[in-house]
Amino acid sequence: MTEPADTPVAGLGDPTWLRWAKALRSVAQAGLTYSESPFDRDRYSQVQAIAAEMVALQAGVDRDEAHRCFAEAVGYETPKVDVRGVVFRDGRILLVRELLDGGRWTLPGGWADVNDRPSEAVEREVWEESGYRVRATKVLAIYDRRLHGHTPPHPWGIYKLFFACDLVGGAPAASVETEGATFFAEDAIPELSLARVTPEEIARLFEHYRHPDWPADFD
């Protein structure tokens, strides 16, 4: 029996249509990167366009925007890297309020930039989004976003890196992306931005806080 195209496969996270679109886009991008034949490049461009159409139709995003995003990607495709700072104070975890997601809350963080060390990326993101200065001390988890309940599905592969960070200074401040930074107790976590962090991840990070000798989680 063929599974419905919108049904996630056990252990894979994404709905089937999105896995197909990602696979097509990856093949097309590699072909456009390495092929020297103009005929093959044209065929790979058509495959890329089909993948963009799939995402636009199934995810309800603008067709032109989907085509533009796919066409702008160059080189061999690899997962993007999202870094998140895990900062505790007196048993409470630091969350910031997202302007772009209806005022929901998340761990401070974002995309790692080119030329950043991972620790620099997370320390900068925490500073920019919360106003607090921190020092990254340990990797707590490296997660494949598909496998941890994030919604909505994302058209790019994403690895999420969670870093334990020591608080070294600063004060709560708003930014162009956030409008608040607050420490929350485990039993008082506000509504979360599920595109960025899930309740299960927050619960796991509290466990890491209580067990500082634990090794990092992965996958």
| pLDDT value, residue 12 | 52
Residue appearing with tokens 């998140």? 84
Q: Which two tokens stand for residue 135?
A: 């020092």
| pLDDT value, residue 74 | 72
| pLDDT value, residue 6 | 46
- The model carries a pTM of 0.75
Could you tell me if 140 and 86 are in contact, meaning their C-beta atoms sit under 8 angstroms apart?
Answer: yes
What's the chain's Rg over C-alpha atoms? 19
| pLDDT value, residue 182 | 98
The predicted-structure confidence for 143-156, as pLDDT tens digits, reads as follows 999 999 999 887 77
| pLDDT value, residue 59 | 76
| pLDDT value, residue 132 | 98
Residue appearing with tokens 């340990």? 138
Low-confidence ranges of the chain (pLDDT < 50): 1-11
- Altogether, the residues listed in the chain come to a count of 219
The predicted-structure confidence for 97-146, as pLDDT tens digits, reads as follows 999 899 999 999 999 998 899 999 999 999 999 999 999 999 999 999 99
Q: Is the CATH number 3.90.79.10 carried by domain 80-218? A: yes
Residue appearing with tokens 């058509």? 46
Q: Which residues 6+ apart lie within 8 Å of 179 measured at CB?
A: 97, 99, 103
| pLDDT value, residue 150 | 95
| pLDDT value, residue 111 | 94
